[in-house]
Amino acid sequence: MIHTLNALVDLVDRDLGETIDVAAFARRHGTTEYHLRRMFSALARMPLSEYVRRRRMTLAGAELARGAPNLLDVAVQHGYGSAETFGRAFRSVHGTAPADVRRHGGPLSTQPMLRFRLSVEGSTPMDVTITHRPELVLVGHATQVPLLHEGVNPQIQEHIASMPPQEHTRLKELGDTDPTGILAVTAEVQPDAPEGSLLTYLHGVALATTTPVPEDLDVIRADAGSWAVFGSRGPFPETLQQLWAATATDWFPSNPWRLRPGPSIVRYLELTETSATCELWLPVEQS
């Protein structure tokens, strides 16, 4: 995976004016577009699409600072069909117009070329179990919340706090299959979604496929398949978020598994205001 990510970065710089066929690239390297985009986003801390835009605008800015005579030629060279669309993309990265950079040489906000490396320090212990589950029926109360990589998500807190205590008790009694207990489910996340984009969060439980679903509850279904279950214990939510990042930096690059499309699940075993013992369930398939 590290080799594949670096090959992808090389492709971005090599084919500046071409639309990258990420799905075809992933197939040639024996992986999937979904997994490739998820790993890139997790490790680079930005979506692939954002890196491509920033990198192309960095190189375009360098050309303009050297006095490139024709703005449209620069726009076309970097994959834009008009000076107007190129100008909007340029300003979104550099905060200034292309013509101003050509006249004054800057200011420019540059994106260095990424290079991925695998850390072999083993600094994050990984307590993981691979389990195989039939289709999961995840039911509860769902809402749309923004994606946040660090810290407590206040909209999730508000969503949970809005439920009366008896509803939590009802959900616990309703759940009848693994993973048991109250679950925090995130779904409908694009594989390289930027921070702040909306996702579906469901506070609920897992039901057997034969169990009737109450009409007042929302439903998220997860296909049958394998799950990597990671144990987490410590300050909340920092420890859980660090574990999520470690799956991308340490576990996936050194194990024969990759992410498959589906929701991610956090199963809470013990939760206080400052700490949590929980499990992170990620849908996986053999790579």
One pLDDT digit (tens) per residue for the chain, 287 residues = 788 999 999 998 887 767 889 999 999 999 999 999 988 988 888 889 888 888 888 887 777 777 777 777 777 777 787 777 888 888 888 877 777 777 777 667 777 888 887 655 445 567 889 999 999 999 999 999 988 877 778 999 999 999 999 998 999 999 999 999 999 999 988 877 777 889 999 999 999 999 999 999 999 999 999 999 998 888 888 888 888 888 887 888 778 899 999 999 999 888 887 888 889 999 999 88
Nearest-5° Cα angle at 93, 146 to 50: 50
Which amino acid, one-letter code, is at 74? V
Q: Residue 118: its pLDDT value, please?
A: 65
| Tokens linked to 118 | 């695998």
Which residues, including other chains, have CB under 8 Å from residue 210's CB and lie 6 or more apart? none
Helices (H) and strands (E) in the chain, counts: 10, 9
What is the distance between the alpha carbons of residues 69 and 16, in angstroms, rounded to a whole number?
19
pTM of the predicted protein model? 0.76
| Contact yes or no for 238/197 (Cβ under 8 A) | no
Q: Residue 222: its pLDDT value, please?
A: 94
Name the percent of the chain in helix, strand, coil, to the closest 5. 40, 25, 35
Which amino acid, one-letter code, is at 51? Y
Which residues, including other chains, have CB under 8 Å from residue 229's CB and lie 6 or more apart? 128, 129, 130, 131, 179, 279, 280, 281
Instruction: Give residue for tokens 């469901």.
Output: 202
Give the residue among 237, 165, 148, 273 at the shortest CA–CA distance from 201.
Answer: 148
